Amino acid sequence: GAVVSQHPSRVICKSGTSVKIECRSLDFQATTMFWYRQFPKQSLMLMATSNEGSKATYEQGVEKDKFLINHASLTLSTLTVTSAHPEDSSFYICSVPGSGKNQPQHFGDGTRLSIL
Amino acid sequence: QKEVEQDPGPLSVPEGAIVSLNCTYSNSAFQYFMWYRQYSRKGPELLMYTYSSGNKEDGRFTAQVDKSSKYISLFIRDSQPSDSATYLCAMSVSSGNTPLVFGKGTRLSVIA
């Protein structure tokens, strides 16, 4: 069964809207979660590392004030795209590290965001 | 030079063919190597996970890692139309709480 639940799967909204995406770890508690972004025909690129109870760590070139990350519990991280613009349209995917040693990451089903 | 290079394809093969997918990388610190399958508009699904060099087999899938050449491969035997998807290689320096570095993905079509 699914290990990671991501919601919503699809968002279409007007420019200037803020959009919140949720990522839930279903099977175990996760102190760390990752947020990736994937543009059409491109690879997944890490945006930020979400840390439970502390500030997220952002990759170079990712605006922390635009992409707000909140990891308030061990099973939930949220990504809020604030005042979204058409160039923010992309596929956003979260991942959760495996529960044991040497376990791979598991990914959510992604959120396709389209800003008109 | 990008950290992980992967030919995006597209690759089209007849049903039953053996498929070979490859990635090269530049960071010799990578220790963990993964192959993910991604269907259209879906998140990546883990196929194979290997540590360091060597081979790993799971059903019709075989993953190979050659750290000396910084080269990894995924072989799919007896390919099926349901294998049609984008295959992403990914790697990391350590396991667990370490983000992955992905290749661009190779689009595979298996024609019935």
Note the pLDDT tens digit of each residue in B64-101: 999 999 999 999 999 999 999 999 999 998 877 788 99
| pLDDT band for position B8 (cuts 50, 70, 90) | confident
Residue A93 CB burial class (10 angstroms; 0-12, 13-18, ≥19): buried
B34 and B73 in contact (C-beta within 8 Å)? no
How many residue pairs from chains A and B have C-beta atoms closer than 8 A?
63
Separation of alpha carbons A68 and A19, rounded Å? 10
Note the pLDDT tens digit of each residue in B10-65: 999 999 999 999 999 999 999 999 999 999 888 999 999 998 888 999 999 999 99
Of the candidates A34, A32, A19, the residue with the CA atom closest to the CA atom of residue A67: A19
CB spacing of B96 vs A42 below 8 angstroms: no
Torsion angle (degrees, nearest 10) of CA A37, A41, A43, A49: 0
The interface residues of chain A toward chain B in range 80-99, judged by CB-CB distance below 8 A, are 91, 93, 95, 97-98
Q: Which amino acid is at A19?
A: V
What pLDDT sits at residue B98?
83
Neighbours of A87 (CB within 10 A): 9
Q: Does the pLDDT value for residue A43 go beyond 80?
A: yes
What pLDDT sits at residue B75?
97
Q: How many CA atoms lie within 13 A of A55 on its CB side?
A: 5
Torsion angle (degrees, nearest 10) of CA A8, A12, A17, A23: 20
Interface test with B, best of A105, A107, A112 (most B CBs within 10 A): A105
Note the pLDDT tens digit of each residue in A44-78: 999 999 998 889 999 999 999 999 999 989 999 99
Q: Does the pLDDT value for residue A26 go beyond 80?
A: yes
